[in-house]
Structure 1
């Protein structure tokens, strides 16, 4: 989209320019060469001479170029309607651009807003979480999170991150993705090797924020599995088996053929896979989620979570939109 957008804008501008040129020339040509009625009640010698001159002009008109002849095929009414529609389309697009700029691009992505019947709600959880990290952690503590939040943590919390938005080190990103996709104990070992003290996870299932880490989780699995083969995406997807039955008649014998195909579905409810329900990302996101007003109902995924009651044995919850878990230096339990 970013690459093709300028080219699309240029092509659209050229197309609009050509369309206006064709329609306006068609209208202009028909207005100039519109036939006029002649009053024959008082015809004089001069009128006859004028008529002869008009005949000569008509002979010139008959030698018009093919392009001008094609313009005559566009009726004036059709050209006027087409120009009016193009102007209205451009005006509506300007209104849409103003609305999009006001609603989507006039506010920083770090501050979230939501409109309701009671007015405008402002969610400032990101800045509060980064402020908590800045004031409650040591200057040399390392924070693990998905790469989307690396620059924000570095700039606003002034803490070292494992991966950031530069994304040049694919191995580091895959390592963090593998840790998030692994069970808690295996994730603890990975973060221990990286000297990580805190793990930041973005979760929006309670307030309805759809861009959280559960929504991005499959990318963590895919990137992690690209470097560490033991992480397999199908282990986190629910396999639905579809059986198609075909009947063929061969020499009065009916043969039944079963064609099996599997399709994976990403779920976090009771039908989710055990690998999904026990990975670190799931546990950090849904820890004590059943104690909220929804009783474990995820408003973004529009479903009730599958694994409601569990404890964290290697992490402690510190700051909850943005849960921050503290890595325990010693194995508990």
Structure 2
């Protein structure tokens, strides 16, 4: 007889369903009391962060508070549904199809069971409903198909989406008002109103180019100089420094280049440093020659004496 009941989805689920629902209700009450204590501590910590001016930490912590509050609200509705189904287990057992007045409660329990890891009894109830009504009924509630009646508040509260900036700001204001904190929310409002930047494609506007002075900007043509022929190079000046001869081409003016374009200040500094280095080398070679002459004179005097 039990095999025929399983084939026609009319298994006797009454006693086991009652036991699991009773355990789930007791567990939900314990978890709610524990979560209440945790929420009070978390809200107090956020109030301390706001009072000490540590708003960035408060903006991060408030997301966890919102998540815990959503779970608390979802568990409260689940507790009501479990009590509702528990009182009507005989009706479920006597009818093959799910009654219309129980469809929302049954579908909501099926949807919430895999999303509430700390309520394992709901998974057992979900499996019992699957034995009673079939896998298609379970899939329809789990996947939120149009013909299901899952409670919309449970769907919203058990979602994993990040809360919006408006919701986080309202919770922060509520905490500040609860603990009588004079908090200026202008900075947090500006932070929440910022649009996220697409960092994968890079910044849309490059502001660093606007800060570069015009004198340091070089045109693309100036970056690639064409090689000059021997006729274009002009006369070459030879500066003799002892045994070394340095050749220096015609110098450009500080303001205008040979092509009629302004020369940057960096190029002028390089030319001036090159000239100073050549002059210093010339003076050093002259001093070396004078020293060598003095040494020769002293040696000649010693030989004569």
TM-score (norm 1): 0.22
Q: Which has the higher contact order (CA 8 A, sep 6+)?
A: 2
Structure label with greater radius of gyration: 2
TM-score computed with the length of structure 2 as normaliser: 0.24
Bigger proportion of residues as strand: 1
Larger helix proportion of the pair: 2
